[in-house]
């Protein structure tokens, strides 16, 4: 048992480290290091522009989407090399936020289902960040129940005509392309009548409207489709096989290892180390320590769970299912941590402006952003279902709409 | 990076699991649970023959000379099987104290006997209520004899010898405490078994009356040695707790698959599924924290104090959580003496107190993290 690199891993790490040291945008390092959930922005620059510039620089030197094949803009690296890169990239990795969906979900789906000429033309600019992609799955009538979506695609010659509405689409307002899940046959059971496409977000009939979130910010959008035309060669997978295609996408969403989930614990420990309470330093208070200790072991538990997965990658094995706990644990933990940080501030915890609030309001921002982390990319409840069904082997939910034609399923709760 | 046990160590774990499945069935555990024997002597002999008791004891002292990682994988299986033997007192506490501070003669006297299954040892630290602290040690040592009362002493009623924490000064500092080894077979002690939460591991009161004792380690070094012993034991106990957590989770999962109510498997209800998923989360966090503890223990890393405290807290929480919800999944049957659920519930809650309770370790963890950050 050890934490040492193999000689090849050590060599790769040294190369990556040297390149990052020579090329990363150091002027933003401190700010990125201090940014936390609900507050990833730069004071003196537009973070989207900085992110795109960094991604392009990486791509030009062969450091973008490391595990992708070289022909598609990657480096052909092993999974462990990708993890080492993420470790070395450190705070600059926070600049990858706007590319996560494109690189983590759209890219792998294109790679598995797109035509060869499309892969060669669309994937390299996706890798280099010159083109940004979004994922158009969720709808007002289909969130956790993605297969309940209603956006229609109807065949018209060599094209498909799209009408409907998507919601919670991260980054749609700055995206160039998207992968789109639609209903092509409402007369069969809901999972059986779906088809996947990719499309140009600038197509006529696509309208993006930002959603003002509960936190006040706008990371997500509604996207409306009015008679949008998509050529059939942009279909991904067979007609009515979209559900299986989407499983590839969603599997990738939860596979990201080594990036490290945000728990808020380092920020809270740091805060408590300097905070003075009425009776003395917070860190010397037994009650504070007890709370800190409980979060400390969750944070370290997640860290070493991820190390176990990385070790499996290093040996060329498939990681076990244990990494599936990350989002579930971190999501509610960061919410609790933020709530407690404000509790320690007493009445002044109510301030949210950077001038009046403690530590520039980082915990207030965290608190307001946190509810979203427990919903996006699989709610806490969906994550528990996944653990119960795929890891523990418990039965799936009884689905009353499973064998019912989609257009015969109920659409209203009451009345 | 290889943050995992080696193939040989995993093989040893499989071997221990197989051995315990055969020799330590729930039926065998119940003989001790029902008070028909103080511990499972046959199993103890078998563990010695398998080389498990001396796995981390050097060959020079009659052991297998493997190491702490090997001991960790065996500990996990001891916890999974709920083994009713004085393994933790003898192997994690007494043997480790001797390995850290014993003289050559002391090691020669006790370690080969431990490895052979011929001597049961324990640590006599507590004196009633309270957590590990020099302040709570009142038993005195003077002129080579001990006077005072220790309780609870794990496996005290069946132990052949004890490592005893005694007061040798009154400065109010850690240096007031020294350790001694007492051969309990030589007299000078009165031992009384006390009813406790987990009858499969006995607890006793030992009254020392002018009891002859020989020093273990230098005078005034007792607290510093004890701290090291408790850290090592925290990691090893964490593996027992991880094994127990996994077993309780499995029992709950299996019952949820077998039991039908309202016309369906109860494991198809989200209320039950989510409870089991949360148990899996606790058990996974505990396992990962314990692996880190194992790494720190086996490499004698500077991170051991922090890693041990984290493993202790995480594994204690997980075992308590899994054992309690295993009963809940079983419903009324889980609350019967006949079903095995309560054996894990008892073990989980007794283990949560043995080396100092959760509140003690929580305080220790943050203290140690601070010291590391300051350094």
As a whole number of angstroms, the distance between CA A249 and CA A267 comes to: 32
Of B273, B278, B365, the CB nearest to A385: B273
Residue B315, classed as helix, strand or coil, is: helix
Cis previous bond, B49, omega within 30 = no
What pLDDT is attached to residue A260?
64
Q: Is the pLDDT of residue B240 over 80?
A: yes
CA A364 to chain B, closest CA, distance in angstroms equals 24
Task: Identify the CA nearest to A182 among candidates A402, A408, A410, A406.
Answer: A406
Is A388–B363 a contact, with Cβ atoms under 8 angstroms apart?
Answer: no
Q: Is the pLDDT of residue A183 over 80?
A: yes
Distances (CA, A) of A3 to B3, B71, B127, B285: 6, 20, 41, 18
Give the count of Cβ contacts less than 8 A between chain A and B: 164
pLDDT digits (tens, 9 = 90+) for B60-74: 999 999 999 999 999
Contacts of A312 in chain B (CB under 8 A): 4
CA B305 to chain A, closest CA, distance in angstroms equals 14
Rounded to an integer, the average pLDDT of A357-377 is: 92
Q: What is the mean pLDDT of chain A?
A: 92
Residues 6 or more apart whose CB falls under 8 angstroms from that of A144 comprise A378, A379, A381, A382
Write down the residue that tokens 């899996």 correspond to.
B280
Is A325–B284 a contact, with Cβ atoms under 8 angstroms apart?
Answer: yes
Q: Is A36 exposed, middle or buried (0-12, 13-18, 19+ CB in 10 A)?
A: buried
Query: Is the separation of the CB atoms in B61 and B112 below 8 Å?
Result: yes
Write down the residue that tokens 């939860």 correspond to.
A254
As a whole number of angstroms, the distance between CA A78 and CA A61 comes to: 17
pLDDT digits (tens, 9 = 90+) for A5-26: 999 999 999 999 999 999 999 9
What pLDDT is attached to residue A249?
74
Residue B145, classed as helix, strand or coil, is: strand
Contacts of A322 in chain B (CB under 8 A): 284, 287-288
Residue B293: closest C-alpha in chain A? A304
Query: Is the separation of the CB atoms in A242 and A179 below 8 Å?
Result: no
Q: Is the pLDDT of residue A92 over 60?
A: yes
Of A1, A283, A396, the CB nearest to B366: A283
User: A287 and chain B: CB distance < 8 Å anywhere?
Assistant: no
Distances (CA, A) of B278 to A297, A325, B24, B40: 16, 9, 28, 34
Is A311–B289 a contact, with Cβ atoms under 8 angstroms apart?
Answer: no
CA A295 to chain B, closest CA, distance in angstroms equals 10
Most confident of A251-265, A387-401, B144-158: B144-158
Q: Is the pLDDT of residue A258 over 50?
A: no
Structure tokens at B125: 């630290």
What pLDDT is attached to residue B143?
93
Rounded to an integer, the average pLDDT of A101-119 is: 94
Q: Is A414 exposed, middle or buried (0-12, 13-18, 19+ CB in 10 A)?
A: exposed
What pLDDT is attached to residue A319?
77
Q: Is the pLDDT of residue B4 over 70?
A: yes
- The three state secondary structure string of chain A is CECCCCHHHHHHHHHHHHHHHHHCCHHHHHHHHHCECCECCCCCCCHHHHHHHHHHHHHHCCCCCCCCCHHHCCCCCCHHHHHHHHHHHHHHHHHHHHHHHHHHHHHHHHHHHCCHHHHHHHHHHHHCCCCCEEEECCECCECCCHHHCCCEEEEECCEEEEEEEEECCCCHHHCCEEEEEEECCCCCEHHHCEEEEEEECCCCCEEEEECCCCCCCCCCEEEEEEEEEEEHHHEECCCCCHHHHHHHHHHHHCCCCCCCCCCCHHHHHHHHHHCEECCEEHHHCHHHHHHHHHHHHHHHHHHHHHHHHHHHHHCCCCCCHHHHHHHHHHHHHHHHHHHHHHHHHHHHHHCCCCCCCHHHHHHHHHHHHHHHHCCCCCCHHHHHHHHHHHHCCCCCCCCCCCCCEHHHCCCCCCC
Q: How does residue A259 score in pLDDT terms, banded at 50, 70 and 90?
A: low
Is A325–B280 a contact, with Cβ atoms under 8 angstroms apart?
Answer: yes
User: A239 and chain B: CB distance < 8 Å anywhere?
Assistant: no
As a whole number of angstroms, the distance between CA B279 and CA B247 comes to: 11
Structure tokens at A35: 């940014």
Contacts of B280 in chain A (CB under 8 A): 325, 387, 391-392
pLDDT digits (tens, 9 = 90+) for B24-60: 999 999 999 999 999 999 999 999 999 999 999 999 9
As a whole number of angstroms, the distance between CA A304 and CA A312 comes to: 12
Contacts of A294 in chain B (CB under 8 A): 313, 317, 362
Q: Is the pLDDT of residue A225 over 70?
A: yes
Structure tokens at A379: 């709610």
pLDDT digits (tens, 9 = 90+) for A63-81: 999 989 999 999 999 888 9
Is A1–B2 a contact, with Cβ atoms under 8 angstroms apart?
Answer: yes
Rounded to an integer, the average pLDDT of B175-199 is: 97
As a whole number of angstroms, the distance between CA A89 and CA A85 comes to: 6
As a whole number of angstroms, the distance between CA B346 and CA B373 comes to: 37
Q: ipTM more than 0.85?
A: yes
Residues 6 or more apart whose CB falls under 8 angstroms from that of B170 comprise B176
CA B365 to chain A, closest CA, distance in angstroms equals 6
DSSP characters over B72-108: HHHHHHHHHHT--SSHIIIIIIIHHHHHHH--HHHHH
Rounded to an integer, the average pLDDT of B202-209 is: 98
User: A157 and chain B: CB distance < 8 Å anywhere?
Assistant: no
User: A301 and chain B: CB distance < 8 Å anywhere?
Assistant: yes
Residues 6 or more apart whose CB falls under 8 angstroms from that of A262 comprise A36, A37, A330, A334
Strand partners, A154: A161
As a whole number of angstroms, the distance between CA A118 and CA A164 comes to: 26
As a whole number of angstroms, the distance between CA B52 and CA A174 comes to: 62
Query: Is the separation of the CB atoms in A60 and A114 below 8 Å?
Result: no
Give the whole-number percent of chain B exceeding pLDDT 70.
100
Strand partners, B180: B164, B215
- Any idea which of A47-56, A223-232, A318-327, B284-293 has the lowest mean pLDDT? A318-327
Query: Is the separation of the CB atoms in A263 and A334 below 8 Å?
Result: yes
Q: Is the pLDDT of residue A398 over 80?
A: yes
Residue B182, classed as helix, strand or coil, is: strand
Task: Classify residue B217 as left (phi > 0), alpha (psi -120 to 50) or beta.
Answer: left
Q: Between residues 50 and 89 of chain A, which touch chain B (CB distance below 8 Å)?
A: 80
Task: Identify the CA nearest to B149 among candidates B194, B96, B102, B200.
Answer: B194
Task: Identify the CA nearest to A323 among candidates A334, A310, A336.
Answer: A310
User: What residue ranges in chain B does DSSP mark as E strands?
Assistant: 121-124, 140-142, 145-154, 161-167, 177-183, 189-194, 203-212, 214-216, 260-261, 264-265
pTM, two decimals, is 0.94
What pLDDT is attached to residue A321?
77
CA B145 to chain A, closest CA, distance in angstroms equals 38
Q: What is the dihedral sign for C-alpha A247, A249, A251, A253?
A: negative
Q: Is A286 exposed, middle or buried (0-12, 13-18, 19+ CB in 10 A)?
A: exposed
As a whole number of angstroms, the distance between CA B109 and CA B119 comes to: 10
As a whole number of angstroms, the distance between CA A262 and CA A202 comes to: 34
As a whole number of angstroms, the distance between CA A37 and CA B186 comes to: 64
As a whole number of angstroms, the distance between CA A139 and CA A411 comes to: 13
- Write down the number of H helices and E strands in chain B: 12, 10
| Mutation to test the B interface, candidates A304, A327, A329, A400, most B Cβ within 10 Å | A304
Contacts of B264 in chain A (CB under 8 A): 395, 398
Task: Identify the CA nearest to A253 among candidates A98, A377, A72.
Answer: A377
pLDDT digits (tens, 9 = 90+) for A361-370: 999 999 999 9
- In angstroms, the first-to-last Cα distance of chain B is 26
Q: Is the pLDDT of residue A55 over 90?
A: yes
Q: What is the mean pLDDT of chain B?
A: 97
Query: Is the separation of the CB atoms in B180 and B146 below 8 Å?
Result: yes
Of B3, B276, B285, the CB nearest to A1: B3
Task: Identify the CA nearest to B55 among candidates B95, B2, B104, B83.
Answer: B95
As a whole number of angstroms, the distance between CA B15 and CA B51 comes to: 12
As a whole number of angstroms, the distance between CA B73 and CA A279 comes to: 45
Is B317–A297 a contact, with Cβ atoms under 8 angstroms apart?
Answer: yes
Distances (CA, A) of B137 to A315, B101, B167, B183: 49, 19, 6, 20
Of A303, A325, A395, the CB nearest to B267: A395
């Amino acid at each position: 048992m050890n934490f040492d690199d193999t000689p090849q891993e050590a060599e790769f790490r040294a190369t990556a480290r040297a390149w990052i040291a020579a090329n990363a945008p150091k002027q933003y390092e401190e700010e990125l290091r201090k940014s936390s959930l609900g507050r990833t922005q730069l004071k003196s620059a537009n973070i989207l522009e900085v992110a795109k510039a960094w991604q392009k620089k990486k791509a030009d030197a062969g450091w973008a989407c490391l595990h992708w094949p070289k022909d598609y803009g990657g480096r052909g690296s092993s999974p462990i090399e990708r993890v080492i890169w993420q470790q070395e990239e450190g705070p600059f990795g926070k600049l990858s936020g706007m590319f996560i969906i494109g690189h983590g979900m759209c890219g792998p789906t294109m790679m598995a289902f797109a035509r060869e000429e499309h892969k060669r033309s669309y994937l390299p600019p996706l890798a280099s960040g010159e083109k940004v992609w979004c994922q158009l799955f969720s709808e007002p009538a289909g969130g956790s129940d993605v297969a309940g979506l209603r956006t229609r695609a109807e065949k018209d010659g060599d094209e498909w005509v799209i009408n409907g509405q998507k919601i919670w689409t991260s980054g749609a307002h700055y995206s160039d392309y998207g992968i789109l899940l639609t209903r092509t046959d409402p007369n069969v059971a809901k999972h059986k009548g779906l088809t996947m496409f990719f499309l140009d977000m600038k197509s006529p009939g696509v309208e993006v409207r930002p959603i003002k979130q509960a936190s006040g910010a706008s990371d997500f959008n509604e996207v409306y489709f009015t008679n949008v035309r998509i050529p059939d060669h942009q279909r991904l997978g067979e007609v009515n096989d979209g559900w299986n295609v989407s499983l590839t996408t969603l599997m990738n969403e939860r596979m990201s290892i080594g990036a490290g989930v945000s728990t808020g614990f380092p920020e809270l420990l740091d805060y408590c180390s300097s905070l003075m309470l009425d009776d003395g330093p917070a860190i010397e208070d037994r009650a504070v320590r007890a709370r800190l200790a409980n979060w400390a072991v969750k944070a370290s538990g997640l860290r070493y769970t991820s190390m176990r997965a990385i070790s499996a990658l290093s040996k060329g094995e498939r990681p076990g299912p244990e990494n599936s706990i990350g989002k579930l644990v971190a999501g509610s933990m960061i919410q609790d941590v933020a709530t407690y940080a404000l509790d320690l501030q007493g009445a002044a915890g109510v301030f949210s402006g950077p001038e009046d609030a403690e530590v520039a309001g980082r915990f207030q921002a965290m608190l307001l952003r946190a509810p979203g982390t427990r919903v996006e990319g699989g709610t806490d409840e969906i994550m528990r279902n996944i653990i119960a069904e795929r890891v523990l082997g418990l039965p799936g939910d009884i689905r009353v709409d499973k064998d019912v034609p989609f257009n015969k399923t109920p659409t209203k709760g009451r009345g | 990076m290889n943050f995992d046990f080696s193939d040989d160590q995993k093989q040893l774990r499989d071997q221990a699991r197989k051995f315990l499945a055969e020799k330590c069935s729930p039926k065998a555990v119940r003989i001790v649970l029902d008070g028909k024997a103080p511990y499972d002597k046959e199993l103890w002999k078998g563990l010695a023959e398998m080389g498990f008791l001396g796995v981390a004891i050097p060959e020079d002292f009659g052991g297998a000379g493997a190491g702490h990682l090997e001991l960790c994988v065996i500990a996990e299986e001891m916890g999974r099987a709920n083994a009713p033997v004085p393994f933790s007192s003898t192997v994690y506490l007494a043997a480790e104290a001797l390995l850290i501070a014993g003289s050559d003669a002391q090691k020669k006297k006790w370690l080969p006997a431990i490895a052979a299954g011929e001597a049961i040892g324990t640590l006599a630290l507590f004196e009633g209520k309270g957590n590990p602290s020099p302040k709570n040690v009142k038993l005195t040592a003077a002129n080579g004899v001990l006077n005072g009362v220790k309780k609870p002493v794990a496996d005290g009623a069946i132990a052949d010898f004890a490592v005893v924490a005694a007061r040798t000064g009154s400065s109010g500092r850690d240096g007031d405490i020294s350790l001694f080894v007492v051969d309990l077979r030589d007299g000078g002690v009165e031992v009384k078994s006390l009813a406790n939460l987990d009858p499969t591991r006995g607890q006793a009161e030992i009254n020392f009356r002018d009891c002859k004792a020989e020093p273990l380690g230098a005078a005034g070094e007792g607290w510093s040695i004890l701290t090291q012993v408790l850290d090592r034991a925290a990691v090893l106990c964490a593996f027992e707790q991880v094994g127990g957590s996994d077993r309780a989770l499995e029992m709950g999962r299996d019952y949820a698959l077998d039991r039908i109510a309202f016309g369906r498997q109860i494991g198809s209800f989200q209320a039950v599924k989510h409870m089991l998923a949360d148990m899996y989360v606790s058990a996974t966090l505990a396992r990962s924290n314990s692996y880190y503890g194992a790494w720190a223990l086996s490499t004698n890393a500077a991170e051991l104090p922090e890693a041990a405290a984290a493993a202790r807290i995480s594994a204690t929480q997980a075992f308590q959580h899994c054992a309690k919800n295993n009963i809940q999944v079983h419903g009324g049957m889980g609350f019967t003496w006949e079903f095995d659920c309560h054996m894990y519930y008892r073990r989980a809650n007794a283990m949560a107190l043995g080396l100092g309770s959760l509140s003690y370790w929580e305080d220790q963890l943050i203290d140690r993290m601070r010291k590391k950050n300051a350094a």
